[in-house]
Structure 1
Amino acid sequence: MRRKTGLAIAGAVTLAWCEWLNWRWSRTLVGNSGGTAEAVVVLGYRNPRAAANAVNRWRVRAGIRSIAAGGAHDTRVIFSGGATGGGVTEAQVMADYATSVLGFDGTVLLEDRSTTTWENITNVIPLLEDVDRIKIVSQPAHALKARAYLRRQRPDLAERLVRADDYRPGEWLIAKPLLALYGLWAVRGLDADERKVSL
């Protein structure tokens, strides 16, 4: 009985720690930039088939729910990702899912050349120059890594970063330990000042 209780407590502590890590990553390197013109950048995930996989479907939903209330007409959603296997790019797969399955009818832009997170950021920069607020959507650690890359490439644009709605308590609960391990690996190259919680 004690062993079962100990395992249950250890499991609960592990899940709480994983939730805290993802919460923390979602609130790092973001501010409170004002204005109405907004860009939501959704980063793609390896998608060898023409239909969106589970990760890309979730990222698209998180991107759409990240649009500020009442701001759909002033928001552009940028799907970023090149081809990683078949002929269809990650960007196109995500855009198709957003429009045909979710019925999104806002402004959609595609960045379909990048194959790394660094390239995602490099290639979307021209699409961000005239917006007031920038949200980057992915799993929280991956989004943090992308925000750090924007800060390195264009500090002036990084000042416009605000929090996306890509973290919700309990979401991906069963996978949170794996996501936390991946996250720790993903952010290992960030500097100490790139890991400070902003909000």
Structure 2
Amino acid sequence: MRQRTGVAAAGVVVLAWGEWLNRRWSRTLVGDNGGDVEAVVVLGYRNPQPTANFINRWRVRAGIRSITDDGAHDTRVIFSGGTTTSGGVSEAQLMADYARSVLEFGGTVLLEEESTTTWENVTNVIPLLEDVNRIKIASQPAHALKARAYLRRQRPDLAKRLVRADDHRPGEWLIVKPLLALYGLWTLRGLKPDERRTTPG
């Protein structure tokens, strides 16, 4: 009985750690910038099949729910991702199709269809962000943080406009959050100490 209790307690600690770390990442390198024009950038994940895969579908949902729904903001949703197979449809197009046909999203959509890496995602969406007051990047929290750090490196002036996307909700993906946290620690190992702060410099 004592052993079971210990295992259960350890499980709770691991789940809590995964929850905490993903929450922290979702709140790193973001501010509270004002303005009535916002962009939600949804980053694609490799998608060789002809419809949006599970991860891209979740990212689209996270992006759509990140829209400020107060009627006072002019929002554009930017789907970013190139093709992963020769002659295939881009990740951006697959995500846009899912947003329109399944989620019935009728707002402004822009596509960036050339990127094959996160660095390229950021580089290629910059021209679509020049006139935006508020920038949200939607993906898994660690991946979104990596993209925010890249924007900070490429265009620190635009990085000052970053605000938090709705990419973390308590209990969502709870069981796999520890795995996402471990993977995130590995993918974020190249970030500098000042890119891990909870507020932009």
Instruction: Find the aligned partners of 1:124 and 1:21 in 2 and give their Cα distance.
Output: 27
Structure 1 partner of 2:30? 30
Equivalences for 1:1-199 in 2 at 5 Å?
1-71=1-71, 74-85=74-85, 87-198=88-199
SS at match of 2:174: coil
Residues 1:164 and 1:126: Cα distance change in structure 2 (over 3 Å): same
Unaligned runs of 5+ in 1: none
| Alpha-carbon offset, residue 71 of structure 1 | 4.3
Instruction: Find the aligned partners of 1:111 and 1:128 in 2 and give their Cα distance.
Output: 12
Instruction: Find the aligned partners of 2:22 and 2:52 in 1 and give their Cα distance.
Output: 24
Instruction: Find the aligned partners of 2:71 and 2:130 in 1 and give their Cα distance.
Output: 18
SS at match of 2:39: strand
Instruction: Find the aligned partners of 1:20 and 1:165 in 2 and give their Cα distance.
Output: 15
Instruction: Find the aligned partners of 2:156 and 2:101 in 1 and give their Cα distance.
Output: 36
Instruction: Find the aligned partners of 2:45 and 2:175 in 1 and give their Cα distance.
Output: 20
Q: RMSD of aligned C-alpha atoms?
A: 1.2
| Alpha-carbon offset, residue 84 of structure 1 | 1.1
Contact kept? 1:73, 1:107, Cα under 8 Å: no
What is the percent sequence identity of the aligned residues? 78
How many residue pairs end up in the alignment? 199
| Alpha-carbon offset, residue 186 of structure 1 | 1.3
Q: TM-score, normalised by structure 1?
A: 0.97
| Alpha-carbon offset, residue 104 of structure 1 | 0.1
**CA-to-aligned-CA distance 1:139-184 (integer Å, 9 cap, x gap):** 0000000000000000000000000000001101121111011110
Q: TM-score, normalised by structure 2?
A: 0.96
Instruction: Find the aligned partners of 1:72 and 1:82 in 2 and give their Cα distance.
Output: 32
Unaligned runs of 5+ in 2: none
SS at match of 2:175: coil
